[in-house]
Amino acid sequence: MCTCATVAQATAFAQVTEAVGGRASGMGGAFVAVASDSSATWWNPAGLAPGPFLDLALGRATVATPEVWRYRTSWFALGTPPLGVSYYRFRLTDIQPFDPTAAPPPGREDRRAGVAVRSLAASQLGVTLVQTIISGVHTGATLKYLRAAPEGGETDQSVDLDLGVLATAGAVRLGARMRNVAEPTIGTARLERQTRVGVALDAEAAGGAPLTVAIDVDVDAYATASGMRRVVAFGAEHWLWDRRLGLRGGGRMNRAGARDRSATAGASVAIRAGVYVDGHVVGGGAADERGWGVAARVSF
Give SS3 for 47: helix
Alpha helices in the chain (DSSP H): 7-13, 22-26, 40-43
For the segment 102-109, the average pLDDT, to the nearest whole number, is 48
Q: Which residues pair with 197 in a beta bridge?
A: 176, 217
Give the global pTM: 0.87
Residue-level length of the chain? 300
- The pLDDT assigned to 257 comes to 77
Q: Is 209 exposed, middle or buried (0-12, 13-18, 19+ CB in 10 A)?
A: exposed
Name the DSSP class of 14: S
Q: What is the pLDDT of residues 193-212, one digit of tens each?
A: 899 999 999 999 999 999 99
Judged by DSSP in three states, 26 sits in: helix
DSSP class of 34? T
Q: 2-58, pLDDT tens digit by residue? A: 333 334 444 444 667 888 999 999 999 999 999 999 999 999 999 999 999 999 999
Task: Return the percentage of the chain with pLDDT > 70, whole number.
Answer: 82
DSSP 65: E
Was domain 7-299 assigned CATH 3.20.20.70? no
Distances (CA, A) of 95 to 11, 73, 101, 126, 253: 10, 16, 18, 27, 22
The CA-atom distances, in angstroms, between 123 and each of 16, 151, 183 are 13, 14, 17
Express each pLDDT in 234-281 by its tens digit. Answer: 999 999 999 999 999 999 999 997 788 999 999 999 999 999 999 999
- Dist CA 285 CA 212 (whole Å): 27
